[in-house]
Structure 1
Amino acid sequence: MGKYIGEIMLFTTAIIWGSGFAFSAISLNYFTPYQILAVRFTIGVFILSLIFYQRLKNMKKSTIKRGFILGLLLYMAFLLQTVGLQYTTPSKNAFITAINVVIVPFIAFFMDKRKIDRFELSGAFLAIIGIAFLSLELSISEINLGDLLTLGCAFGFAYQIYYTAKYVKDEDPILLTVAQMGAAALFSWLFLFFKGEVEFALEWKGTLSVLYLGLFSTTLAYCFQTMAQKYTNETKTAIILSTEALWGMVFSIIILSEVLTGRMIVGAFLILTAIILAETKLDFLKGKSVKNIREIK
Protein backbone atom coordinates (compact mmCIF):
# COMPACT_ATOMS: atom_id res chain seq x y z
CA MET A 1 0.00 0.00 0.00
CA GLY A 2 2.86 2.38 0.86
CA LYS A 3 4.26 1.92 -2.66
CA TYR A 4 1.04 3.16 -4.26
CA ILE A 5 0.71 6.07 -1.82
CA GLY A 6 4.25 7.10 -2.70
CA GLU A 7 3.57 6.94 -6.43
CA ILE A 8 0.33 8.93 -6.05
CA MET A 9 2.33 11.59 -4.20
CA LEU A 10 4.93 11.68 -6.97
CA PHE A 11 2.28 12.00 -9.69
CA THR A 12 0.66 14.80 -7.65
CA THR A 13 4.07 16.49 -7.41
CA ALA A 14 4.53 16.23 -11.19
CA ILE A 15 1.07 17.72 -11.78
CA ILE A 16 1.84 20.63 -9.43
CA TRP A 17 5.20 21.25 -11.10
CA GLY A 18 3.52 21.07 -14.49
CA SER A 19 1.07 23.78 -13.48
CA GLY A 20 4.03 25.78 -12.18
CA PHE A 21 5.33 26.38 -15.73
CA ALA A 22 2.38 28.65 -16.49
CA PHE A 23 2.63 30.51 -13.17
CA SER A 24 6.40 30.89 -13.61
CA ALA A 25 5.80 32.47 -17.01
CA ILE A 26 3.39 34.96 -15.42
CA SER A 27 5.58 35.75 -12.40
CA LEU A 28 8.65 36.39 -14.62
CA ASN A 29 6.82 39.44 -15.97
CA TYR A 30 7.04 41.02 -12.50
CA PHE A 31 10.07 39.48 -10.71
CA THR A 32 13.57 38.39 -11.62
CA PRO A 33 14.29 34.64 -11.56
CA TYR A 34 16.46 35.07 -8.46
CA GLN A 35 13.71 36.92 -6.60
CA ILE A 36 11.25 34.14 -7.42
CA LEU A 37 13.62 31.48 -6.05
CA ALA A 38 14.22 33.44 -2.85
CA VAL A 39 10.50 33.98 -2.24
CA ARG A 40 9.37 30.43 -3.06
CA PHE A 41 11.97 28.75 -0.81
CA THR A 42 11.31 31.23 2.01
CA ILE A 43 7.58 30.52 1.81
CA GLY A 44 8.40 26.81 1.85
CA VAL A 45 10.48 26.84 5.03
CA PHE A 46 8.09 29.28 6.76
CA ILE A 47 4.90 27.30 6.03
CA LEU A 48 6.42 23.93 6.88
CA SER A 49 7.94 25.28 10.11
CA LEU A 50 4.60 26.82 11.06
CA ILE A 51 2.61 23.64 10.44
CA PHE A 52 5.12 21.20 11.93
CA TYR A 53 6.66 23.41 14.63
CA GLN A 54 6.25 20.71 17.27
CA ARG A 55 8.35 18.31 15.20
CA LEU A 56 11.19 20.85 15.00
CA LYS A 57 12.15 19.93 18.56
CA ASN A 58 13.18 16.52 17.20
CA MET A 59 15.45 17.97 14.52
CA LYS A 60 18.74 16.06 14.61
CA LYS A 61 22.19 17.26 13.55
CA SER A 62 22.19 14.59 10.86
CA THR A 63 18.90 15.96 9.48
CA ILE A 64 20.30 19.49 9.34
CA LYS A 65 23.49 18.28 7.66
CA ARG A 66 21.64 16.17 5.10
CA GLY A 67 19.04 18.88 4.52
CA PHE A 68 21.89 21.35 3.90
CA ILE A 69 23.33 19.05 1.20
CA LEU A 70 19.92 18.61 -0.45
CA GLY A 71 19.21 22.35 -0.25
CA LEU A 72 22.57 23.14 -1.85
CA LEU A 73 21.94 20.66 -4.67
CA LEU A 74 18.42 21.98 -5.17
CA TYR A 75 19.45 25.63 -5.30
CA MET A 76 22.47 24.98 -7.54
CA ALA A 77 20.22 23.06 -9.95
CA PHE A 78 17.72 25.93 -10.11
CA LEU A 79 20.53 28.49 -10.39
CA LEU A 80 22.21 26.68 -13.30
CA GLN A 81 18.82 26.25 -14.97
CA THR A 82 18.01 29.95 -14.57
CA VAL A 83 21.38 31.23 -15.78
CA GLY A 84 21.39 28.68 -18.61
CA LEU A 85 18.02 29.97 -19.79
CA GLN A 86 19.67 33.34 -20.53
CA TYR A 87 21.86 31.70 -23.21
CA THR A 88 19.64 29.00 -24.70
CA THR A 89 16.01 28.54 -25.73
CA PRO A 90 13.27 27.61 -23.23
CA SER A 91 12.52 24.41 -25.18
CA LYS A 92 16.14 23.21 -25.04
CA ASN A 93 16.36 24.27 -21.40
CA ALA A 94 13.32 22.15 -20.52
CA PHE A 95 14.55 19.17 -22.53
CA ILE A 96 18.12 19.13 -21.18
CA THR A 97 16.84 19.55 -17.60
CA ALA A 98 14.69 16.44 -18.12
CA ILE A 99 17.79 14.39 -18.96
CA ASN A 100 18.10 13.88 -15.18
CA VAL A 101 15.63 11.00 -15.62
CA VAL A 102 18.37 9.02 -17.44
CA ILE A 103 21.22 10.20 -15.18
CA VAL A 104 19.62 8.97 -11.94
CA PRO A 105 19.91 5.17 -12.54
CA PHE A 106 23.57 5.53 -13.50
CA ILE A 107 24.31 7.52 -10.34
CA ALA A 108 22.72 4.72 -8.30
CA PHE A 109 24.80 2.16 -10.24
CA PHE A 110 28.15 3.90 -9.72
CA MET A 111 27.52 5.03 -6.14
CA ASP A 112 25.79 1.93 -4.74
CA LYS A 113 26.47 -0.72 -7.41
CA ARG A 114 22.67 -1.03 -7.72
CA LYS A 115 21.72 -3.10 -10.74
CA ILE A 116 20.18 -1.07 -13.55
CA ASP A 117 16.68 -2.34 -14.25
CA ARG A 118 16.38 -2.65 -18.04
CA PHE A 119 12.66 -1.82 -18.01
CA GLU A 120 13.17 1.29 -15.86
CA LEU A 121 16.11 2.37 -18.04
CA SER A 122 14.07 1.81 -21.21
CA GLY A 123 11.25 3.79 -19.63
CA ALA A 124 13.69 6.60 -18.79
CA PHE A 125 14.89 6.85 -22.41
CA LEU A 126 11.30 6.70 -23.69
CA ALA A 127 10.41 9.54 -21.33
CA ILE A 128 13.31 11.59 -22.71
CA ILE A 129 12.15 11.01 -26.29
CA GLY A 130 8.60 11.98 -25.29
CA ILE A 131 9.85 15.16 -23.63
CA ALA A 132 11.83 15.94 -26.79
CA PHE A 133 8.57 15.82 -28.77
CA LEU A 134 6.91 18.10 -26.21
CA SER A 135 9.76 20.57 -25.76
CA LEU A 136 12.14 20.79 -28.70
CA GLU A 137 11.55 22.79 -31.83
CA LEU A 138 12.06 21.11 -35.19
CA SER A 139 15.46 22.73 -35.64
CA ILE A 140 18.10 22.35 -32.93
CA SER A 141 20.97 24.85 -32.92
CA GLU A 142 24.54 23.94 -31.95
CA ILE A 143 25.49 23.41 -28.31
CA ASN A 144 26.15 26.67 -26.45
CA LEU A 145 27.04 27.84 -22.92
CA GLY A 146 23.40 27.78 -21.84
CA ASP A 147 23.08 24.12 -22.85
CA LEU A 148 26.15 23.17 -20.80
CA LEU A 149 24.87 25.08 -17.76
CA THR A 150 21.48 23.40 -18.11
CA LEU A 151 23.20 20.01 -18.32
CA GLY A 152 24.83 20.86 -14.99
CA CYS A 153 21.34 21.63 -13.71
CA ALA A 154 20.16 18.16 -14.84
CA PHE A 155 22.97 16.57 -12.82
CA GLY A 156 21.99 18.74 -9.84
CA PHE A 157 18.38 17.53 -9.91
CA ALA A 158 19.52 13.94 -10.47
CA TYR A 159 21.78 14.01 -7.41
CA GLN A 160 19.02 15.69 -5.39
CA ILE A 161 16.67 12.80 -6.23
CA TYR A 162 19.39 10.22 -5.50
CA TYR A 163 20.40 11.66 -2.12
CA THR A 164 16.78 12.23 -1.10
CA ALA A 165 16.15 8.50 -1.62
CA LYS A 166 19.27 7.72 0.39
CA TYR A 167 18.67 10.12 3.31
CA VAL A 168 14.93 9.66 3.74
CA LYS A 169 15.44 6.05 4.83
CA ASP A 170 16.89 7.24 8.15
CA GLU A 171 15.29 10.67 8.57
CA ASP A 172 11.86 12.17 9.20
CA PRO A 173 10.71 13.25 5.69
CA ILE A 174 9.05 16.41 7.00
CA LEU A 175 12.08 17.57 8.98
CA LEU A 176 14.37 16.70 6.08
CA THR A 177 12.19 18.85 3.80
CA VAL A 178 12.24 21.74 6.30
CA ALA A 179 16.04 21.58 6.50
CA GLN A 180 16.29 21.39 2.71
CA MET A 181 13.99 24.38 2.22
CA GLY A 182 15.89 26.37 4.86
CA ALA A 183 19.23 25.75 3.18
CA ALA A 184 17.84 26.58 -0.29
CA ALA A 185 16.29 29.80 1.09
CA LEU A 186 19.61 30.76 2.70
CA PHE A 187 21.53 30.30 -0.56
CA SER A 188 18.76 32.14 -2.46
CA TRP A 189 18.97 35.26 -0.28
CA LEU A 190 22.77 35.28 -0.24
CA PHE A 191 22.83 35.20 -4.03
CA LEU A 192 20.03 37.78 -4.24
CA PHE A 193 21.99 40.25 -2.09
CA PHE A 194 25.08 39.51 -4.19
CA LYS A 195 23.07 40.36 -7.33
CA GLY A 196 21.63 43.46 -5.68
CA GLU A 197 18.05 42.56 -6.63
CA VAL A 198 16.44 43.31 -3.27
CA GLU A 199 13.67 45.62 -4.51
CA PHE A 200 10.39 43.81 -5.24
CA ALA A 201 7.51 45.09 -7.40
CA LEU A 202 4.27 44.20 -5.60
CA GLU A 203 1.81 43.81 -8.47
CA TRP A 204 -1.12 41.58 -7.47
CA LYS A 205 -0.92 39.30 -10.53
CA GLY A 206 2.78 38.65 -10.08
CA THR A 207 2.43 38.30 -6.31
CA LEU A 208 -0.35 35.71 -6.58
CA SER A 209 1.69 33.74 -9.13
CA VAL A 210 4.81 33.62 -6.99
CA LEU A 211 2.70 32.72 -3.93
CA TYR A 212 1.33 29.75 -5.89
CA LEU A 213 4.89 28.68 -6.70
CA GLY A 214 5.85 29.00 -3.05
CA LEU A 215 2.82 27.26 -1.55
CA PHE A 216 2.27 24.49 -4.09
CA SER A 217 5.29 24.05 -6.41
CA THR A 218 7.72 24.30 -3.49
CA THR A 219 6.13 23.61 -0.09
CA LEU A 220 3.61 20.90 -1.00
CA ALA A 221 5.48 19.40 -3.96
CA TYR A 222 8.86 18.91 -2.28
CA CYS A 223 7.17 17.68 0.88
CA PHE A 224 5.35 15.06 -1.20
CA GLN A 225 8.54 14.14 -3.10
CA THR A 226 10.54 13.54 0.08
CA MET A 227 7.76 11.53 1.75
CA ALA A 228 7.14 9.47 -1.40
CA GLN A 229 10.78 8.49 -1.79
CA LYS A 230 10.49 6.36 1.33
CA TYR A 231 8.46 3.95 -0.80
CA THR A 232 9.88 4.20 -4.34
CA ASN A 233 13.37 3.86 -5.78
CA GLU A 234 15.20 6.82 -7.30
CA THR A 235 14.86 5.70 -10.95
CA LYS A 236 11.08 5.26 -10.81
CA THR A 237 10.88 8.58 -8.93
CA ALA A 238 12.72 10.35 -11.76
CA ILE A 239 10.50 8.76 -14.43
CA ILE A 240 7.27 9.71 -12.66
CA LEU A 241 8.50 13.26 -11.98
CA SER A 242 9.41 13.62 -15.66
CA THR A 243 5.68 13.74 -16.41
CA GLU A 244 5.80 17.36 -15.28
CA ALA A 245 6.57 18.13 -18.94
CA LEU A 246 3.29 16.45 -19.92
CA TRP A 247 1.33 18.34 -17.27
CA GLY A 248 3.13 21.53 -18.22
CA MET A 249 1.71 21.10 -21.73
CA VAL A 250 -1.80 20.46 -20.34
CA PHE A 251 -1.79 23.57 -18.14
CA SER A 252 -0.22 25.72 -20.86
CA ILE A 253 -3.15 24.79 -23.11
CA ILE A 254 -5.68 25.51 -20.32
CA ILE A 255 -4.15 28.64 -18.77
CA LEU A 256 -2.01 30.16 -21.54
CA SER A 257 -4.23 29.05 -24.45
CA GLU A 258 -1.47 27.20 -26.30
CA VAL A 259 -2.55 25.14 -29.31
CA LEU A 260 -2.43 21.33 -29.07
CA THR A 261 -0.36 19.84 -31.91
CA GLY A 262 0.23 16.33 -33.23
CA ARG A 263 3.80 16.47 -31.94
CA MET A 264 2.50 17.13 -28.42
CA ILE A 265 0.15 14.13 -28.65
CA VAL A 266 3.03 11.85 -29.73
CA GLY A 267 5.17 13.15 -26.86
CA ALA A 268 2.38 12.58 -24.34
CA PHE A 269 1.87 9.03 -25.62
CA LEU A 270 5.59 8.21 -25.29
CA ILE A 271 5.77 9.56 -21.73
CA LEU A 272 2.72 7.56 -20.67
CA THR A 273 4.21 4.46 -22.32
CA ALA A 274 7.42 5.05 -20.36
CA ILE A 275 5.45 5.12 -17.10
CA ILE A 276 3.62 1.88 -17.95
CA LEU A 277 6.89 0.17 -18.93
CA ALA A 278 8.69 1.18 -15.72
CA GLU A 279 5.68 0.41 -13.53
CA THR A 280 4.56 -2.96 -14.91
CA LYS A 281 7.87 -4.21 -16.40
CA LEU A 282 5.60 -5.85 -19.00
CA ASP A 283 4.24 -8.25 -16.37
CA PHE A 284 0.94 -8.43 -18.25
CA LEU A 285 2.76 -9.77 -21.33
CA LYS A 286 4.72 -12.25 -19.24
CA GLY A 287 1.51 -13.48 -17.65
CA LYS A 288 -0.09 -13.90 -21.06
CA SER A 289 2.90 -15.90 -22.30
CA VAL A 290 2.79 -18.23 -19.30
CA LYS A 291 -0.94 -18.76 -19.80
CA ASN A 292 -0.43 -19.61 -23.49
CA ILE A 293 2.30 -22.14 -22.67
CA ARG A 294 0.01 -23.85 -20.16
CA GLU A 295 -2.77 -24.00 -22.73
CA ILE A 296 -0.43 -25.61 -25.29
CA LYS A 297 0.59 -28.25 -22.75
Structure 2
Amino acid sequence: MSLKAKSTLMLVILVTIWGATFPFEKMVLSHVSPFSLNFYRFLTASLLLLFIFFPTIKKDLKFVWKDGIILGSLMSAGYILQTWGLSYTTSAKSGFITAFYIVLIPFFSILIEKSRLKFVTIFALLVATLGIYLSEMAGNVFNPNVGDFLTLGCAVAFAIHVVLTTSITTKLKDKHIALTFFQMFFVTIANLPFYGFTFSQDRWHASDVALIGFIAIFASILALIIQMKYQKNVGTIPSAFIYAGEPVSAAIFSYMILHENFSRLQLIGFSLIVFSAIFTHLRLTKKESEV
Protein backbone atom coordinates (compact mmCIF):
# COMPACT_ATOMS: atom_id res chain seq x y z
CA MET A 1 0.00 0.00 0.00
CA SER A 2 1.37 3.40 -0.99
CA LEU A 3 1.87 6.19 1.54
CA LYS A 4 -1.00 8.20 0.03
CA ALA A 5 -3.36 5.21 0.08
CA LYS A 6 -2.44 4.46 3.69
CA SER A 7 -2.91 8.12 4.64
CA THR A 8 -6.30 8.22 2.87
CA LEU A 9 -7.37 5.13 4.81
CA MET A 10 -6.27 6.74 8.08
CA LEU A 11 -8.34 9.86 7.33
CA VAL A 12 -11.36 7.64 6.62
CA ILE A 13 -10.78 6.06 10.05
CA LEU A 14 -10.55 9.59 11.48
CA VAL A 15 -13.94 10.52 10.03
CA THR A 16 -15.40 7.27 11.35
CA ILE A 17 -14.12 8.15 14.84
CA TRP A 18 -15.64 11.63 14.62
CA GLY A 19 -18.97 10.15 13.63
CA ALA A 20 -18.87 7.44 16.29
CA THR A 21 -18.40 9.97 19.08
CA PHE A 22 -21.24 12.24 17.91
CA PRO A 23 -24.05 10.31 19.68
CA PHE A 24 -21.95 10.14 22.85
CA GLU A 25 -21.53 13.91 22.78
CA LYS A 26 -25.31 14.30 22.45
CA MET A 27 -25.78 12.04 25.47
CA VAL A 28 -23.37 14.12 27.60
CA LEU A 29 -24.88 17.42 26.43
CA SER A 30 -28.27 16.37 27.79
CA HIS A 31 -26.75 16.76 31.29
CA VAL A 32 -23.88 19.28 31.06
CA SER A 33 -23.21 22.49 29.15
CA PRO A 34 -21.24 22.42 25.87
CA PHE A 35 -18.47 24.49 27.46
CA SER A 36 -18.13 21.95 30.26
CA LEU A 37 -17.87 19.18 27.69
CA ASN A 38 -15.21 21.11 25.77
CA PHE A 39 -13.22 21.94 28.90
CA TYR A 40 -13.13 18.45 30.42
CA ARG A 41 -12.71 16.75 27.04
CA PHE A 42 -9.57 18.70 26.17
CA LEU A 43 -8.25 18.83 29.73
CA THR A 44 -8.42 15.03 29.90
CA ALA A 45 -6.80 14.73 26.48
CA SER A 46 -3.99 17.16 27.41
CA LEU A 47 -3.18 15.36 30.67
CA LEU A 48 -3.20 11.93 29.03
CA LEU A 49 -0.94 13.12 26.22
CA LEU A 50 1.44 14.73 28.69
CA PHE A 51 1.56 11.56 30.82
CA ILE A 52 2.14 9.18 27.89
CA PHE A 53 4.40 11.29 25.67
CA PHE A 54 6.14 13.65 28.11
CA PRO A 55 9.72 13.07 26.80
CA THR A 56 8.62 13.64 23.18
CA ILE A 57 6.55 16.72 24.04
CA LYS A 58 9.37 18.21 26.13
CA LYS A 59 11.88 17.65 23.32
CA ASP A 60 9.74 19.07 20.50
CA LEU A 61 7.79 21.81 22.25
CA LYS A 62 10.31 24.53 21.37
CA PHE A 63 9.88 23.69 17.68
CA VAL A 64 6.07 23.61 17.61
CA TRP A 65 4.80 26.21 20.08
CA LYS A 66 4.43 29.07 17.58
CA ASP A 67 2.53 26.96 15.07
CA GLY A 68 0.70 25.31 17.96
CA ILE A 69 -0.61 28.72 19.03
CA ILE A 70 -1.88 29.38 15.50
CA LEU A 71 -3.64 26.02 15.12
CA GLY A 72 -4.77 26.05 18.76
CA SER A 73 -6.28 29.52 18.37
CA LEU A 74 -8.23 28.44 15.28
CA MET A 75 -9.44 25.25 16.96
CA SER A 76 -10.43 27.19 20.08
CA ALA A 77 -12.32 29.78 18.03
CA GLY A 78 -14.11 26.99 16.18
CA TYR A 79 -15.33 25.20 19.30
CA ILE A 80 -16.22 28.39 21.20
CA LEU A 81 -18.13 29.99 18.32
CA GLN A 82 -19.94 26.74 17.58
CA THR A 83 -20.97 26.37 21.23
CA TRP A 84 -21.92 30.04 21.56
CA GLY A 85 -23.90 29.97 18.34
CA LEU A 86 -25.79 26.86 19.45
CA SER A 87 -27.31 28.98 22.24
CA TYR A 88 -29.18 31.02 19.62
CA THR A 89 -29.88 28.59 16.79
CA THR A 90 -31.15 25.06 16.25
CA SER A 91 -28.96 21.96 16.26
CA ALA A 92 -29.95 21.29 12.63
CA LYS A 93 -28.77 24.71 11.44
CA SER A 94 -25.65 24.46 13.61
CA GLY A 95 -24.81 21.11 12.03
CA PHE A 96 -25.37 22.45 8.54
CA ILE A 97 -23.27 25.60 8.97
CA THR A 98 -20.47 23.76 10.83
CA ALA A 99 -20.30 21.11 8.09
CA PHE A 100 -20.12 23.96 5.57
CA TYR A 101 -16.44 24.31 6.54
CA ILE A 102 -15.85 21.49 4.05
CA VAL A 103 -17.00 23.78 1.24
CA LEU A 104 -14.89 26.68 2.52
CA ILE A 105 -11.64 24.68 2.63
CA PRO A 106 -10.91 24.79 -1.14
CA PHE A 107 -11.44 28.56 -1.24
CA PHE A 108 -9.06 29.18 1.66
CA SER A 109 -6.67 26.76 -0.03
CA ILE A 110 -6.67 29.10 -3.04
CA LEU A 111 -5.80 32.08 -0.83
CA ILE A 112 -3.23 30.39 1.42
CA GLU A 113 -1.74 27.57 -0.66
CA LYS A 114 -2.25 29.23 -4.06
CA SER A 115 -4.00 26.09 -5.29
CA ARG A 116 -6.33 26.09 -8.29
CA LEU A 117 -9.91 24.83 -8.37
CA LYS A 118 -10.63 22.53 -11.28
CA PHE A 119 -14.09 22.01 -12.76
CA VAL A 120 -14.26 18.55 -11.19
CA THR A 121 -13.66 20.03 -7.74
CA ILE A 122 -16.24 22.79 -8.24
CA PHE A 123 -18.82 20.24 -9.39
CA ALA A 124 -18.09 17.98 -6.41
CA LEU A 125 -18.32 20.98 -4.05
CA LEU A 126 -21.77 21.87 -5.36
CA VAL A 127 -22.92 18.27 -4.91
CA ALA A 128 -21.44 18.15 -1.39
CA THR A 129 -23.10 21.47 -0.48
CA LEU A 130 -26.50 20.18 -1.58
CA GLY A 131 -25.86 16.94 0.30
CA ILE A 132 -24.92 18.76 3.50
CA TYR A 133 -28.01 20.97 3.22
CA LEU A 134 -30.38 18.04 2.71
CA SER A 135 -28.77 15.90 5.41
CA GLU A 136 -28.76 18.63 8.06
CA MET A 137 -31.75 20.80 7.13
CA ALA A 138 -33.96 18.10 5.53
CA GLY A 139 -35.13 20.63 2.94
CA ASN A 140 -36.31 23.25 5.47
CA VAL A 141 -36.02 26.95 4.62
CA PHE A 142 -32.90 28.55 6.08
CA ASN A 143 -33.68 31.71 8.08
CA PRO A 144 -30.43 33.09 9.54
CA ASN A 145 -30.09 34.65 13.00
CA VAL A 146 -27.19 35.82 15.19
CA GLY A 147 -26.40 32.26 16.25
CA ASP A 148 -26.01 31.24 12.61
CA PHE A 149 -23.45 33.99 12.01
CA LEU A 150 -21.49 32.89 15.10
CA THR A 151 -21.54 29.34 13.78
CA LEU A 152 -20.38 30.57 10.38
CA GLY A 153 -17.35 32.01 12.19
CA CYS A 154 -16.79 28.53 13.59
CA ALA A 155 -16.86 27.06 10.07
CA VAL A 156 -14.34 29.66 8.87
CA ALA A 157 -12.00 28.85 11.77
CA PHE A 158 -12.19 25.09 11.15
CA ALA A 159 -11.63 25.56 7.41
CA ILE A 160 -8.49 27.68 7.92
CA HIS A 161 -7.30 25.17 10.53
CA VAL A 162 -7.48 22.36 7.96
CA VAL A 163 -5.66 24.39 5.29
CA LEU A 164 -2.85 25.50 7.64
CA THR A 165 -2.52 21.97 9.03
CA THR A 166 -1.18 20.76 5.68
CA SER A 167 1.55 23.40 5.41
CA ILE A 168 2.50 23.38 9.10
CA THR A 169 2.72 19.59 9.45
CA THR A 170 4.69 19.38 6.20
CA LYS A 171 7.19 21.83 7.67
CA LEU A 172 7.33 20.18 11.12
CA LYS A 173 7.43 16.62 9.70
CA ASP A 174 7.41 14.11 12.60
CA LYS A 175 6.50 16.48 15.44
CA HIS A 176 2.78 15.68 15.36
CA ILE A 177 2.61 14.52 19.00
CA ALA A 178 3.85 17.82 20.47
CA LEU A 179 1.73 19.78 17.98
CA THR A 180 -1.35 17.80 19.03
CA PHE A 181 -0.65 18.40 22.72
CA PHE A 182 -0.18 22.15 22.27
CA GLN A 183 -3.52 22.46 20.48
CA MET A 184 -5.33 20.42 23.15
CA PHE A 185 -3.81 22.50 25.92
CA PHE A 186 -4.65 25.76 24.15
CA VAL A 187 -8.30 24.76 23.65
CA THR A 188 -8.53 23.80 27.34
CA ILE A 189 -7.29 27.22 28.48
CA ALA A 190 -9.50 29.06 25.97
CA ASN A 191 -12.64 27.27 27.22
CA LEU A 192 -11.85 27.82 30.91
CA PRO A 193 -13.49 31.29 31.24
CA PHE A 194 -16.65 30.12 29.47
CA TYR A 195 -16.77 27.01 31.64
CA GLY A 196 -16.56 29.25 34.71
CA PHE A 197 -19.83 30.96 33.73
CA THR A 198 -21.78 27.80 32.85
CA PHE A 199 -20.63 24.94 35.12
CA SER A 200 -23.36 25.70 37.70
CA GLN A 201 -25.93 24.52 35.14
CA ASP A 202 -24.39 21.04 34.93
CA ARG A 203 -26.23 18.00 36.24
CA TRP A 204 -23.61 15.26 36.08
CA HIS A 205 -24.39 11.57 35.71
CA ALA A 206 -21.84 8.82 36.37
CA SER A 207 -21.94 7.79 32.70
CA ASP A 208 -20.89 11.29 31.60
CA VAL A 209 -17.39 10.83 33.06
CA ALA A 210 -16.84 7.62 31.10
CA LEU A 211 -18.23 9.14 27.90
CA ILE A 212 -16.02 12.23 28.15
CA GLY A 213 -13.04 9.94 28.70
CA PHE A 214 -13.97 8.01 25.56
CA ILE A 215 -14.40 11.23 23.56
CA ALA A 216 -11.08 12.61 24.87
CA ILE A 217 -9.14 9.49 23.92
CA PHE A 218 -10.66 8.77 20.52
CA ALA A 219 -12.16 12.00 19.11
CA SER A 220 -9.45 14.25 20.54
CA ILE A 221 -6.11 12.46 21.01
CA LEU A 222 -6.31 9.71 18.38
CA ALA A 223 -8.24 11.76 15.82
CA LEU A 224 -6.00 14.84 15.99
CA ILE A 225 -2.81 12.76 15.89
CA ILE A 226 -4.11 11.08 12.73
CA GLN A 227 -4.92 14.45 11.18
CA MET A 228 -1.55 15.97 12.12
CA LYS A 229 0.36 12.94 10.81
CA TYR A 230 -1.48 11.94 7.65
CA GLN A 231 -3.38 14.92 6.15
CA LYS A 232 -0.25 16.36 4.56
CA ASN A 233 0.22 13.16 2.54
CA VAL A 234 -3.28 13.37 1.07
CA GLY A 235 -3.46 17.11 0.42
CA THR A 236 -5.83 19.79 1.63
CA ILE A 237 -8.66 19.60 -0.91
CA PRO A 238 -8.80 15.77 -1.17
CA SER A 239 -8.82 15.66 2.65
CA ALA A 240 -11.76 18.08 2.69
CA PHE A 241 -13.89 15.65 0.71
CA ILE A 242 -12.99 12.84 3.11
CA TYR A 243 -13.99 15.06 6.05
CA ALA A 244 -17.33 15.63 4.30
CA GLY A 245 -18.16 12.08 5.34
CA GLU A 246 -18.43 13.12 9.00
CA PRO A 247 -22.20 13.84 8.87
CA VAL A 248 -22.73 10.46 7.19
CA SER A 249 -20.67 8.66 9.83
CA ALA A 250 -22.50 10.54 12.60
CA ALA A 251 -25.86 9.57 11.11
CA ILE A 252 -24.92 5.87 10.94
CA PHE A 253 -23.77 5.76 14.56
CA SER A 254 -26.72 7.87 15.72
CA TYR A 255 -29.02 5.30 14.13
CA MET A 256 -27.12 2.40 15.71
CA ILE A 257 -26.73 3.89 19.21
CA LEU A 258 -29.57 6.42 19.64
CA HIS A 259 -31.99 4.74 17.20
CA GLU A 260 -32.52 8.02 15.37
CA ASN A 261 -34.47 7.89 12.12
CA PHE A 262 -33.84 10.01 9.04
CA SER A 263 -36.12 11.33 6.33
CA ARG A 264 -35.84 10.43 2.67
CA LEU A 265 -34.36 13.86 1.93
CA GLN A 266 -31.68 13.35 4.59
CA LEU A 267 -30.79 9.96 3.14
CA ILE A 268 -30.48 11.53 -0.30
CA GLY A 269 -28.22 14.18 1.24
CA PHE A 270 -25.98 11.52 2.81
CA SER A 271 -25.78 9.75 -0.56
CA LEU A 272 -24.75 12.96 -2.33
CA ILE A 273 -21.98 13.58 0.21
CA VAL A 274 -20.61 10.06 -0.27
CA PHE A 275 -20.87 10.43 -4.05
CA SER A 276 -18.97 13.75 -4.05
CA ALA A 277 -16.14 12.28 -1.94
CA ILE A 278 -15.77 9.09 -4.01
CA PHE A 279 -16.11 10.95 -7.32
CA THR A 280 -13.42 13.49 -6.38
CA HIS A 281 -10.92 10.88 -5.21
CA LEU A 282 -11.45 8.69 -8.27
CA ARG A 283 -10.92 11.66 -10.58
CA LEU A 284 -7.85 12.90 -8.69
CA THR A 285 -6.36 9.40 -8.59
CA LYS A 286 -6.94 9.01 -12.33
CA LYS A 287 -5.25 12.36 -13.04
CA GLU A 288 -2.21 11.34 -10.95
CA SER A 289 -1.89 7.99 -12.73
CA GLU A 290 -1.87 9.77 -16.08
CA VAL A 291 1.02 12.04 -15.08
Please, what TM-score do these two structures have when normalized by structure 1? 0.89
- Is the Cα–Cα contact under 8 Å of residues 72 and 183 in structure 1 kept in the other structure? yes
Deviation at 1:202, TM superposition (A): 4.2
CA separation in 1, counterparts of 2:61 and 2:210? 35
> Superposed, which structure 2 residues align to 1:106-145 within 5 Å?
106-145=107-146
1:191 match: 194
The answer to whether the 8 Å contact 2:244/2:277 transfers is: no
For residue 272 of structure 1, the aligned residue among 258, 271, 274 is 274
* Percent identity of paired positions between Structure 1 and Structure 2: 28
- Aligned residues of 2:130 and 2:272 also touching (Cα < 8 A): yes
Alpha-carbon distance in structure 1 between the residues aligned to 2:264 and 2:150: 30
Q: Return closer, same or farther for 1:68/1:284 CA change in 2, 3 Å cut-off.
A: closer
Distance 1:240 1:283, change over 3 A: closer
1:1-297 correspondence runs (5 A): 1-171=2-172, 172-193=175-196, 195=197, 197=199, 201-281=203-283
Letter in 2 for 1:35: S
Which residue of the partner structure matches residue 294 of structure 1?
none
Question: Is the Cα contact below 8 Å between 2:14 and 2:227 reproduced in 1?
Answer: yes
* Letter matched to residue 242 of structure 1: A
Cα deviation, residue 60, structure 1: 4.0
**Aligned amino acid, residue 232 of structure 2:** K
> What's the offset of the Cα at 1:284?
6.4
Larger deviation, residues 165-174 vs 47-56? 47-56
Tell me the C-alpha RMSD between the 2 structures. 2.2
Quick one: distance in 2 between partners of 1:220 and 1:282?
Answer: 27
Number of residue pairs matched? 287
Q: Distance in 2 between matches of 1:199 and 1:150?
A: 22
- Asked if 2 retains the 8 angstrom alpha-carbon contact of 1:192 and 1:198, the reply is no
In the alignment, residue 11 of structure 1 is paired with which amino acid? V
| 1:158 CA drift (Å) | 0.3
| Residue type of the alignment partner of 1:67 | G
In 1, distance between residues paired with 2:93 and 2:78?
16
- Tell me the secondary structure at the aligned position of residue 167 of structure 1: helix
Unaligned ranges ≥5, structure 1:
291-297
Unaligned 5+ runs, structure 2: none
Distance 2:177 2:86 in 1: 31
Q: 1:78 to 1:283 in 2, by over 3 A?
A: closer
Shift of residue 169 of structure 1? Answer: 0.8
Alignment check: 8 A CA contact 1:76 1:156 kept: yes
Contact kept, 8 Å, 1:120 with 1:277, in 2: the verdict is no
Structure with bigger helix share is 2
In the TM superposition, residue 220 of structure 1 has moved relative to its aligned partner by: 1.1
Within 2, Cα distance between the matches of 1:140 and 1:118? 28
The range that moved more, 148-157 or 1-10, is 1-10
- 1:54-89 deviation per Cα after TM superposition (whole angstroms, max 9, x unaligned): 212322434011111111111110111111111111
Q: Distance between the aligned counterparts of 2:256 and 2:201, measured in 1?
A: 32
Greater Rg by CA = 1
The ranges of structure 1 where at least 4 consecutive aligned residues each deviate by more than 6 angstroms after the TM superposition are 282-285
- Secondary structure at 1:54 match in 2: helix
Cα pair distance change 1:138/1:200, threshold 3 Å: closer
